Amino acid sequence: TQSPPAMTAAVQKYLVEAREWNFDIFRLSDMTEKSPLYFVGLELFQSFGLFADLTIDVSCFQRFLHRVESGYSKNIPYHNSMHGADVCQACAHMLDALKTAFPTRSRFPLGLSSLEVTALFLSALAHDLGHPGTNNAFEIATSSSLALCYNDRSVLESYHVSECFSILKNPSCDIFRGILKPAEWKGLRYLMIELVLATDLEHHRKFIQGFENACKKIARDISARKSTMQISTSVTSNEAKEKQGRMDDATTMLLPAATKEPPPGPKKYVPTTFDVMRELSGTAEGRMLIMKFIIKCSDISHPARTFPIHKRWSELIQEEFFRQGDKEAKLGLPVSRGMDRHSADNKSVAKGNVGFIQYVVRPLYEVMEKRMGIHQFVTSL
């Protein structure tokens, strides 16, 4: 495969903005001869200090990125290396947004480690690696080799992450060779598999509900602990007051019982978003849940971008849908909803786009606003 282009001064200058929300991946692709993933990956690993933290060899990482980018088809309108780069870039920005929302002296928010951030970025870059331009339903309906291999369960997601590990297994692209201990490698692999599988939209509502339930349980637990502490403090305080009362003027004790008011009880403690996120991020499973949330938000982030960028992505995914519809019609299969180019018009396409935002994107971003206190994304929809 052709080597990626050299870094130019113009590209280097534009990559300074790679962690900004309005970063235009289409512009970068045009500037780099259709190699946005290669340059975004290099920039983010460098700016987040991951090369230094994990002592990753930069030349080996460059070969890895080039192989990943080459593994995406340039003939697929939407699920190509631009999308992989775009999702990774969105993850980087959301990490910065989380650090602003939950200030810390650490370089990464919510207790995330360098290895966890590395897993997040690698998963984002490769989460659609080798995408055929058709969805899981098509693969299953046609009994494709992928559907048979992965038993109809998260077919494409399983394939994408498997392809990524196949590249990492190549000695020339093994960026972790001689770096990670067996337990660390096992943890990284488990985390990356979980993150990529989380992008399967078939389980989208279940994930949102699971995240909400986890946050609610933590909030209840915190409230119960804090309220118990307040009650204990209140009881101690009341005992002291009663002792003092017995030492006071006897006339106080002779007042009619009806005129005595019981001391006010302690107020129920209401946990803050900081309380909940701090406790959720206190375990490896909790941090994984947060990273799943980040990669899912990033995977469907274009409606929250500037309108020109959103419009361009929408047109590309619609064309990919139409191509699948063409294949379904040719095979004598029912054409999937929204994928028939012959019956679609601007109104029906717009209606489908609005429905996607309303029922898929907005519910996820509203949870981010509610549970993480980050408002900028949902207000952009």
CB 287 within 8 A of CB 112: yes
Give Rg (Cα) of the chain. Answer: 26
Looking at residues 208-228, what average pLDDT do you find? 93
Q: Look at 236 and 75; give whichever has higher pLDDT.
A: 75
Q: What is the pLDDT of residue 264?
A: 62
Looking at residues 176-203, what average pLDDT do you find? 98
Q: What is the pLDDT of residue 244?
A: 55
User: Is 90 exceeded by the pLDDT of residue 194?
Assistant: yes
CB 34 within 8 A of CB 27: no
User: Is 80 exceeded by the pLDDT of residue 256?
Assistant: no
Among residues of the chain, what percentage have pLDDT more than 90? 86
Q: What is the pLDDT of residue 190?
A: 98
Least confident piece of the model among 26-40, 167-181, 225-239, 330-344: 225-239
Q: What is the pLDDT of residue 255?
A: 47
Q: What is the pLDDT of residue 146?
A: 98
Q: What is the pLDDT of residue 3?
A: 83
User: Is 80 exceeded by the pLDDT of residue 313?
Assistant: yes
Looking at residues 114-134, what average pLDDT do you find? 98
User: Is 60 exceeded by the pLDDT of residue 231?
Assistant: no
Q: What is the pLDDT of residue 268?
A: 85
CA angle 245, 247, 252 (to 5 degrees): 50
Task: Name 332's Cβ contacts closer than 8 Å, sequence gap at least 6.
Answer: none
CA angle 272, 273, 279 (to 5 degrees): 95
Among residues 381, 379, 374, which one has the least CA distance to residue 95? 374
- What CA–CA distance (Å, rounded) separates 381 from 302? 9
CA 245 to chain centre: 58
Q: Which of the four pLDDT bands, split at 50, 70 and 90, describes residue 250?
A: very low
CA 178 to chain centre: 29
Average model confidence (pLDDT) across the chain: 92
Looking at residues 49-67, what average pLDDT do you find? 98
User: Is 70 exceeded by the pLDDT of residue 359?
Assistant: yes
Looking at residues 191-220, what average pLDDT do you find? 98
User: Is 70 exceeded by the pLDDT of residue 261?
Assistant: no
- What CA–CA distance (Å, rounded) separates 232 from 206? 39
* Percent of the chain that is helix, strand, coil (3-state, to 5): 70, 0, 30
Q: What is the pLDDT of residue 153?
A: 98
Among residues 200, 155, 381, which one has the least CA distance to residue 295? 200
Looking at residues 185-213, what average pLDDT do you find? 98
Least confident piece of the model among 5-14, 126-135, 169-178, 243-252: 243-252
